[in-house]
Every structure is written in C-alpha cells, then in structure tokens.
Amino acid sequence: MNLHITNILKDLKNDDFDAYLLTQFTNVEYISNYKPTSFAFCIIKENPIIYASGMDMELAMNNSSIEVREYESFDVMIGDLKEDGVKRLAIEPSLPYSTYIKFKDDFTIDSKTYIDKQRMIKTPEEIKKISQATNIAQKSFLQLDILNNENTEKEVAFDLVRYMIENGAQKESFDTIVTSGANSSLPHAIPESKKLEKPILIDWGCIFEGYCSDNTRTMVYTERQQEIWDIVAEAHYKAIKSIKPGIKCCEVDKVARDIISDYGYGDKFIHSTGHSLGLDIHETPGFSTRDETIIEEGMVITVEPGIYLQGEFGIRLEDTVSISRKGNVIGDLPLDIG
C-alpha cells in the first residue's frame, strides 16, 4: 500500500470516517497512477478500490496500482460500501452536488482536504518533473525570437505550444496567453489574430510527465511601460526573497501588495500573488490576502504580481518557487527579456 493511502487511512481514523471518496481526475491519478478519461469513483478504505467506467477499463487495468472494478451503477457501488461497513464517508470539497445527493441518504458525509494536504508537499521526484516542465517551457520561449517577431498573437501562441511539444512536453498546461497593447490589461486575455503590439505579455507553461509549469514575462518598450515594469519586478523580487518555511502564505502576498500599493497601484493589482501547481495548474495553498496556510518545505508556489491599467496596458511577471529552507526559483529565464 502506498504512503499516500496510509496517510489518508490515518486521517480517516483520527476523524472517525470509514472511507474517502475521490473523483477529481488528478486526485485519482495521484493515488493510483491511473488518470480517468471519463469518470471514476476511487474509494480509499482498508481495501481501496476504483470503480472505473467501461471505456476506461483497459487504461485503468494497465495503470492503476490499486484494485479496479467496472462501474455498474450507484446502487451497486453503494451496496458494496455498506457491505464493507462504511457509514461515515469523507468527500472532496469539489464533489458536484448531483453526486453528493446520491450518497447523502446512505452515509454521514463531510468534505475533507486530506488529499489536498498531501498534494501540497511535493516529493523530490515531483519537483524534478515540475523543473523539467519549466525548463522545456523556458527553452521554448527563447526559441520564439519574440523581439523580431512579425506574427500575430495567435501565431506566436501557436509557435510556443509547438516548440514545447517538440521539446518533449505532453501539451500546454493551460491556454497559452499571448497578448499585447491595450488587451494586456486583461489578466486572462485570449490571443487575437492581430500583429503584436506593445507591450507584449506572455503567460505560458507545459505539462511534462503529468506535471505543470507556469511563467509570465512582459516585454516593455516605452518609459511609462518600463516604470510600471520596474514596480512589478520589485514586488516579484521581494516577494520571492520573503518566502521561507514557517511564515504564512498571506504574508508573501502582503510583501508584493504593499510594494505595489506604496507606488499607488494597489487597486490595479487585481488578483492573488500566486498559486501552487503540480498535477493541476492551480492547487492550494496560494499567496493570497486570506490564505493563512503556513509555508512548508516541499511546497511549489508561483509568484506573479501584476499591474493592470485599463485602456493602457498590463504588466505581469511570474516565476515558480520550490520551497526549501530558502525559496528557490525554478528555471533560469531572466526577468528582463528586452
């Protein structure tokens, strides 16, 4: 039985639960090495089991480290659980309401973050995969020759994805953002069919062996753009320097936010300072104003302050930090590409 399961069994025992239901694909993958493609119910108990869909059976049998049974119906699954003595069932916070109500009459239910708690702390092997993803993504970015680029936003985004795949990535880790000119004030802008304007903001990453990378760079061209870039770069640098085990996530957010606020742009920094990543591109904890999680060694969290001036432009800079006794930035791409 793997360590992840052993840990969950301890948590269940402490909280007096009999089983833990996982349905999120990356949670099932984390536990069993099998990533569902349609749906699956993974139930962690003394004898853990995955109910896989018929169309996933071959894949599940090939990859899963724990027992797999073909899903027939809710009734059969609930019957099995009752037969096994399960009365108190822990679920993921993300479980859809429609699934919750199918279990709620037969079990005492509460949501627990046992799995998130484990996924927060990456093993050296997981960190290595995130580093490899980051290296592929950064190398691909440099192939773009962005400064001599006559292409459209869409074409640049497309080239970047192609380079990442050619360099060994499975795919992009989220929809690649290549935005320029006034559109860059939208944090999640969608690349358009127009030639690059200035500044150019690129937010990109890839997946390598299941693990995500995430970076952002903004290339600036005017004094005004440079002025804002410098503020974001200072917030980015000082937030990264502040990261260490033992302090709270919100304290890192405060470092970045205070710098940007001191320059008078506090209300233009319209998102959190960063998020964890791993099998998913957004994991917990994050560097946000409300996240009181204590930073621990093994966490991998991005730092991505930004300033968004509606009608003008936006600037964001993002790196991913692997937290050891002092945080270490993953990858070696300079902040200043210009």
Least distance in angstroms from the C-beta of 123 to its own copies: 24
Q: Residue 242 in contact with residue 253, Cβ under 8 Å?
A: no
Residue 76 binds its own copies, judged by CB under 8 A: no
What x-and-dash track marks residues 299-338 binding its own copies by CB under 8 A? ---------x-x----------------------------
Residue 70: count other Cβ atoms within 10 Å of its Cβ: 14
Q: Give the residue, chosen from 106, 187, 234, 238, that forms a contact with its own copies under the rule CB under 8 A.
A: 187
Residue 101 or 142: the one with the smaller Cβ distance to its own copies is 101
Least distance in angstroms from the C-beta of 40 to its own copies: 12
Least distance in angstroms from the C-beta of 185 to its own copies: 6
DSSP 161: H
Residue 58 or 336: the one with the smaller Cβ distance to its own copies is 58
- Which residue, chain included where needed, has tokens 């749906």? 39
3-state SS class at 322: strand
Residue 233 binds its own copies, judged by CB under 8 A: no
Q: Residue 112 in contact with residue 15, Cβ under 8 Å?
A: yes
Q: Give the residue, chosen from 2, 10, 85, 101, that forms a contact with its own copies under the rule CB under 8 A.
A: 101
Q: Residue 289 in contact with residue 271, Cβ under 8 Å?
A: no
Q: Prior bond to 36 cis, omega within 30?
A: no
Least distance in angstroms from the C-beta of 148 to its own copies: 21
Residue 96 binds its own copies, judged by CB under 8 A: yes
What x-and-dash track marks residues 257-296 binding its own copies by CB under 8 A? -------------xx-------------------------
Residues 2-31 that bind its own copies (CB under 8 A): none
Q: How far apart are CA 223 and CA 227, in angstroms?
A: 6
Q: Residue 295 in contact with residue 279, Cβ under 8 Å?
A: no
- Which residue, chain included where needed, has tokens 């000082």? 238
Q: Give the residue, chosen from 2, 38, 47, 108, that forms a contact with its own copies under the rule CB under 8 A.
A: 38
Q: Residue 205 in contact with residue 172, Cβ under 8 Å?
A: yes
Please identify, among the stretches 98-106, 131-139, 292-300, 328-336, the one whose residues bind its own copies according to the rule CB under 8 A: 98-106
Strands 49-52 and 40-44: antiparallel
Q: How far apart are CA 80 and CA 277, in angstroms?
A: 35
Please identify, among the stretches 42-50, 91-99, 118-126, 236-244, the one whose residues bind its own copies according to the rule CB under 8 A: 91-99
Q: How far apart are CA 72 and CA 74, in angstroms?
A: 7
Q: Which residues bind its own copies (CB under 8 A)?
A: 37-38, 53-59, 91-98, 100-101, 111, 154, 158, 162, 165, 170-171, 175, 185-188, 190, 270-271, 308, 310
